[in-house]
Each structure stands twice: as C-alpha cells, then as structure tokens.
Chains A and B, each alone.
Chain A
C-alpha cells in the first residue's frame, strides 16, 4: 500500500468510515501478528495484543501524526501492550507452535521432502531467535521479517542508526554461533543441506 493510499484510508477512518478502518486493519494485521508471534512465541498472546493494539489505534486515530509511518505508530502501541503482557506472562518461546503457525506459503510442489526441509529450517531459526535478547530479536524481526529500513528501526527504537546496525550484526553472529555450538542443531542443519 502506498503512503498516499494509506493516508487516504486514515482520513476516511477519521471521519468514521468503517470500511476504511477495516482496510487499515487488514493491511497491517498479518505483519503485526507475525512480529508478535515471533516476539512472544505464543499465538493467543500475539492475537490478543494485535487485537487490542488495533482497537486503540482506531479509537485514537485522530492523534496519528501523518509525518510518521502508520506502521511505526501501530507497532509502538503494540510493543507497549507486549511489554505489559510479558509482565503478566513469563515469555515461553514455543518454537513448535511458532513453526506450526508460520508459512502460509508452503513449499512449492508440495513434496514431502521439501516440506520437511522447510520445517527443519524454521525450527532451527526459531531456536536461534529464542537465544537472542528482547531488543536484538526485535531488531532482527523488524529488519528481516518486516523489511523495515535501518532508519525507521532507529526512529522506532529511539536509538542511533549505528547502534541498530551494531545490534543487528551482533544478533546475526550470535544466532549463527548458537547453531554451530549446538551439536543437535548442527546435525539437523547438515541434514538439511546434505
């Protein structure tokens, strides 16, 4: 969705257009849900957070400043809700659940071997993501999953771009090391690329 189209939707939503509101939610709900699922590791918590975030967004749509990205605003609200939710529920990263949720686009061809390979790969990365700290995981997800530019991540996290890059580099290195150090994971990885 282009920025102009998004601003038009926001303008219509401000005037009480229900269709525009639904369109805004539909445009951002998958990305936010995927982010929250990877962050929290639990689908029901991710769904609750996303739903509450969009309710707050639509109720306070008049407060949105068009100078910023709409997704940044939505993610900021969702992150506050995530922090509150994590204070209630200890984060338990359930990699199997996350892996089962992910991948609407299954491997083309539907071959059993390829499916298995993708599942193994996903599980491998989920484990690696689980070893990261909260902030590094967030940066990795925003950069690789949400495809945000470094500048936007810096604005979102209120930190210099250099720091974001540094965090991203360290996170990738740590994930890689985590896979290499774990014999089981390494064996699975070797099995995938054998």
Chain B
C-alpha cells in the first residue's frame, strides 16, 4: 500500500491507479433520460406493436388524404383549364368554316388590291388625253362578263360609282346608311363603309374584322357585291341564322391563293 513517506513514485502511482479505478456508477436513470430526450422510450412488446400499428395507420391515412387532395386539385384544374376548353367543340365544321372565312378575307384583300391598282388608271388616262371608257372593258346588255372578275370590277368603276348593283346607290355615298342586306358588313375604307358580301352572314364571324384590308388613301368605295362578280359564289353563301358553309369542289381554291387557306387567326374560334 501507499506510504506517503515513501519516495518511490511507484507506490503513489499504484495508489492513484487503485483508488481512481474504483468504478463509479452513473445514476441508473441516466440511460433512460438520454434515450427519452432523443425520442426513444423503452416499452413493452405489446405496447410497441400497438404503437407501430397505430403509426402505420396514421401514415396510411395521411398518404390517402394527400392522394385525395392531389386528385381533387387535378380534377379542379382540369375542369377549369382554358387550354382544354379551347379544344372543346372545335369540330371539322368549325375548322372548315374558319378556313372559308379566312379565304373570304383573303379574297377581300385581293379586291382591295385591285381597287388600289384601279385608282392609278384615271391619272394615266388623263395624261394620255384619252377617254376613260375606251380603255375600260365593254359591258354587254347582260351585264359584265362573268368570266373575268377583274374586268367586271374595272367596268363597274368606270361606269360610275356603284352602278352595277341596286344596293350600290345607297352605299356609294359617304353618308351612307348601313346596308339592309344581312350579308353585308363594314370593313371601312377612309372612314367610308365598304360592303363586303358574305361577312357576318354565318355564325361565328365578327363584324369588326381585324384582318380586313386597309387600302391606301383616296380609294373609292366598292359597291359591287363580290358574290355577283364570281359565278357560283352566291350559291355558296349560306342564308339564315343557322346556315353553315360548304365548300364544293367547284370552287377553285388555287384562285384564292395559298395564303388564304393557311389562316392567321389564333384566337379561340367557336362555330
């Protein structure tokens, strides 16, 4: 044993070692306290199974609730989806109707271009000192030659303002009242109305057509109904509030031009 008067360091070392190595027990509750603080608790096996079963049920319920919530949200989003609605009711009829309308607009632009070209002709005639009717195509007793649309239009212009149609007299005036013909509407040229046959005569068309042609300033109004200028077109124009458009094979689409069939309207279209 250690003697404090002993100078040998081994004796004191031995004392320290023997004494300090005497184990000191930590409180028995220490492990349970630590495990409880990190979220673990010692329980009986039956209680453990019961808790585990309850935990699984809670998790399954939470998962089911989450799935139901996601499904409900998906259905709600689907039913209120504007993109989905955009395709709703977009039938073949509606597509054909849109194509026909687009073609009609293109045709209107063609007519407008002709009128712009025509406005240059009187100036050239005046310089030449020639009579204007001489350069114009002759119109027979039966009316203009239906086989030549351009000739018809030019002849109509040369013969005087709006002279080829009964309605023309009313629409040629700048202060003209709206036409009574339900197949006409206003595309507007220089603030004066321009009746364009067919527009607004079938469901789905719009009176204020943003694609209407915008001719140059100084061009006079066109009073010639287009359907009367093209043989067979009048028969194609549907009548009545629920009329539908059909496009028989007789119509030469190539005459209207490829651009007309391509379509340029991107907004929603309903027949």
Contact = CB atoms under 8 A, between A and B. Distances in A.
Interface stretch (A2-10, A62-70, A100-108, A157-165): A100-108
B37 A21 contact: no
B12 A29 contact: no
Interface string B107-127: 000000000000000000000
B59 to A, nearest CB: 16
Contacts of B84: none
Interface in B1-25: 1-5, 9, 12-13, 15-17, 19-25
Given A30-B26, A180-B5, A193-B2, A144 B34 contact: no
Nearest to A177: B4
B38 A104 contact: no
Interface stretch (A46-54, A75-83, A84-92, A148-156): A46-54
Given A125-B16, A172-B16, A55 B37 contact: yes
Place the interface of chain B in its size category.
20 to 34
A147 B20 CA distance: 10
Contacts of A125: 15-16, 19-20
Contacts of B37: 51, 55
B30 interface: yes
B40 A18 contact: yes
A121 B38 contact: no
Interface string A171-184: 01001100110000
B84 to A, nearest CB: 46
A185 B27 CA distance: 31
B35 interface: yes
Contacts of A22: 31, 35, 40, 42
Contacts of A59: 38
A29 B27 CA distance: 9
Nearest to A185: B4
A180 B7 CA distance: 11
Contacts of B17: 144
Given A179-B4, A180-B5, A186-B4, A25 B24 contact: no
Nearest to B14: A144
Contacts of A32: 26
27 contacts: A22-B31, A25-B34, A30-B26, A32-B26, A33-B24, A37-B24, A38-B20, A50-B30, A51-B30, A51-B34, A55-B37, A102-B24, A103-B24, A105-B22, A122-B22, A140-B16, A141-B20, A144-B17, A144-B21, A172-B9, A172-B16, A175-B12, A176-B4, A180-B4, A185-B4, A192-B1, A193-B2
Interface of A: 18, 21-22, 25-26, 29-30, 32-34, 37-38, 47, 50-51, 54-55, 58-59, 101-105, 121-122, 125, 140-141, 144-145, 147, 172, 175-176, 179-180, 185-186, 189-190, 192-193
